[in-house]
Amino acid sequence: MPKLRLLTWNINSVRLRLPLLAQVVRDLAPDVVCLQETKCPDELFPHEGVAALGFPYRAVRGMKGYNGTAILSRLPFAPRGGDPDWCGKGDCRHLGVDLDVPGGLELHDFYVPAGGDIADREANPKFAHKLDFIAEATAWNAARGPARRAVMVGDLNIAPLECDVWSHKQLLDVVSHTPVEVEALTGWQRAGAWHDAIRHFVPPPEKVYTWWSYRARDWQAADRGRRLDHVWVSQDLAGALRGHVIHKPARGWTQASDHVPVAIDLDL
């Protein structure tokens, strides 16, 4: 089995940014692409255009206007049945598949709720939803035991480390980097015995960002980024990690997403 390249990207509308997805595929040649925020009902998903990029195997879980995930693959896979409907909302924030590679590979694509502006579960139902979502995912991983032959990726909407944000002190009260969120995310990671594939290659205290706000005059000059997008692999795959890409040029493209593609290479 040659190296497998897995890529995750919050595309912020798959229909609007299909040409940018084509550019990502030209630049990085991923074997599997996990998208978040497709903002596209399944019946309107641009299957033809995505198939033309070299992805004959596709799973989509979308809705009108918000959220939505998709997995696009050059390799066959089987959709996973029986994964939870998180918080019982049917809000299209997760897709799981079993990739048809030697030895098998379980792949999960997550879009964790952003959580609104106020970091208080009583005052802000969106923040409560974010914490509840992660608590459910943590319990799910704990019940399944340590992950084996598995990868989970996605926009987790939390930057857990001090070096995952442009200013730890200035973001301590900002949703995405509050201590309660960081504790929740690391608890999830511990419950599944997940290994942080990006920090495998870029250990602290080096800064890593995958998202820069639209609300900056000059995102590049300000460089007020956060690492919200993650790739976790089961411990048994840590030794199979061969490389990673944070595709920062994508943030500077015309009509860019505010997130950039993140990829890892696995030698299975």
Partner DNA sequence: ATGGTAGGACGCCTA
**Helical H segments across 145-256, by residue range:** 168-171, 179-191, 197-201, 219-222
| 145-183 core/surface letters (b: 16 or more CB in 10 A; e: else) | eebebbbbbbbbbbbbbbbbbbeeeebeeebbbbeebbe
Tell me which stretch binds DNA (CB under 7 A): 75-83, 184-192, 209-217, 240-248: 209-217
116 binds DNA (CB under 7 A): yes
Q: What are phi and psi of 86, to 5 degrees?
A: -60, 125
Count of residues that interact with DNA, criterion CB under 7 A: 18
- Fill in the per-residue mask, 167 to 186: x = in contact with DNA (CB under 7 A), - = not in contact: --------------------
Neighbours of 238 (CB within 10 A): 12
* H and E: helices and strands count for the chain: 7, 14
- Given candidates 1, 3, 15, 19, which one binds DNA under the rule CB under 7 A? 15
113 binds DNA (CB under 7 A): yes
Neighbours of 140 (CB within 10 A): 15
For residues 233 and 197, the answer to whether their CB atoms sit within 8 Å is: yes
Q: How far is the CB of 17 from DNA (least distance, A)?
A: 7
Pick the closer one to DNA by CB: 5 or 251.
251
For residues 26 and 261, the answer to whether their CB atoms sit within 8 Å is: no
- Given candidates 47, 80, 121, 126, which one binds DNA under the rule CB under 7 A? 126
Pick the closer one to DNA by CB: 224 or 242.
224
| Peptide bond just before 205 cis, omega within 30 deg | yes
Pick the closer one to DNA by CB: 113 or 154.
113
- Fill in the per-residue mask, 19 to 48: x = in contact with DNA (CB under 7 A), - = not in contact: --------------------x---------
- Footprint of DNA (CB under 7 A): 12-13, 15-16, 39, 64-66, 113-116, 126, 157, 213-215, 255
